[in-house]
Amino acid sequence: MESSYIYGFILSLVVALIATPLVKKLAIAVGAVDKPNHRKVHQRLMPRLGGLAIYLGFLAAYLLVFPPFLEKIGPFLEQMGISSEAMVETYSRATLGIFIGGTIIVLVGALDDRFELSPKLKLLGQIVAAAVVVYYGLRIEFVNLPFQGMLSFEWDWIAIGITIFWIVGITNAVNLIDGLDGLAAGVSGIATAAMMIMAVFVMPNPVVALYCAILLGGILGFLRYNFHPAKIFMGDTGALFLGFNLATLSIMGFKNTTLFAFIIPILILGVPLSDTIFAMVRRFLNKQPISVADKEHLHHCLLAMGLSHRGAVLAIYGISFVFATAAIVFSQSTLWGALIIVCALLFILQLVAELIGWVGQKKKPLLETARRIKQMTTGKQ
């Protein structure tokens, strides 16, 4: 099976490398270009639609590597005491659902890159893609949930709603961080690599591992042209596609789990999730609509501190790596160790947010508390 991971990764990587320059020409020819404005960092017209190259790399590997791979995992599943025939059928349906849903997302993103669809129309496309995944049998299922058997309504309907909300939320969270050259691609690549490592060594889940390897190959092939200074942007085609796949893979990888263990994919996706949450809190405190755009996302804050374009991207890569590492350690920790990890991350995240003005310049409870303690201990006002 290991050879399938390598073949899938290399094939997706090579196709994305070859496809990206061609997609760049296509984007310019059809007018799918990103114009600079007061919120954006770039100062010239840039071709977008680059996510199409990631998709093409993924598509080639999916079609050529996945079918024979599914035929070979039977013995592996039998060793784990799992009915291989039933599980292969489950995996086949789930991956097909993700593939079809991802294709819908790519079409929505491509249309938006060219014609700038309304937010409602984009959201509708995302909900349809998420519904396709649910239809093919993939949904969040919490086992050992204490109150589950005590409720009078059907849990399946709640699971469907939570699944669609999770997929749409993560899809848009990745889209929100796509503000600097190579940022969304790099952060998504780190998250994908973390899921792949856990699918190989922790869960294990060979199908998720292969899916991650294929997706990672496409990301890295595109990143060759997208890292600063970028030659092409991934656009909504790429950002929505990556977010959608990260959301669905996290469900597939942690499908039957406890509520506590579901913190693992939340940690893996820590950067896009925290940026989205802080944006919502910031806008609520400033009495602004949640959907309003601003220049106070994580990458904007780092640039305002004086970091260079590349420096800000690398800093966020570092934060993503910390979250990914914490997720892997969390999965192997005791209950108390896991609680300590979560509490430490939340404290550090809040402290960083206050230091860089992520929530705003006036809302800094930790720093204000530290200042008051210092005043009390020194006797200074």
What whole-number distance in Å separates Cα of residue 324 and Cα of residue 160?
A: 27
pLDDT at 81 over 70: no
pLDDT in tens, 25-44: 999 999 999 876 555 555 67
* Strand pairing report for 46-47 and 33-34: antiparallel
- Binding positions for Mg(2+): 175, 236
Mean pLDDT of the chain: 85
pLDDT interval class at 141 (50, 70, 90): confident
Q: Tokens representing 194?
A: 């973390």
pLDDT at 263 over 90: no
pLDDT given for residue 143 in this prediction: 46
Angle of the 183-201 helix axis to the 206-226 helix axis, nearest 10: 160
pLDDT interval class at 17 (50, 70, 90): very high
Q: Which of 131-145, 174-188, 266-280, 339-353 has the lowest mean pLDDT?
A: 131-145
pLDDT given for residue 145 in this prediction: 44
Residue appearing with tokens 């409870």: 365
- What are the boundaries of each domain within the chain? 2-259
C-alpha separations of 355 from 125, 241, 352, 363, 366 in Å: 38, 32, 5, 10, 10
Q: Which of 141-145, 252-256, 307-311, 360-364 has the lowest mean pLDDT?
A: 141-145
Residues 6+ apart with CB under 8 A from 7: 61, 65
What whole-number distance in Å separates Cα of residue 64 and Cα of residue 47?
A: 29
pLDDT given for residue 352 in this prediction: 86
- DSSP states of 294-357 as a string? -S-SHHHHHHHTT--HHHHHHHHHHHHHHHHHHHHHHHTS-HHHHHHHHHHHHHHHHHHHHHHT
Q: Which of 121-130, 153-162, 296-305, 343-352 has the lowest mean pLDDT?
A: 153-162
Instruction: Give SS3 for 381.
Output: coil
- Binding positions: 175, 236
Residue whose C-alpha is closest to residue 299's, from 185, 180, 174, 181? 180
Residue whose C-alpha is closest to residue 208's, from 106, 66, 83? 66
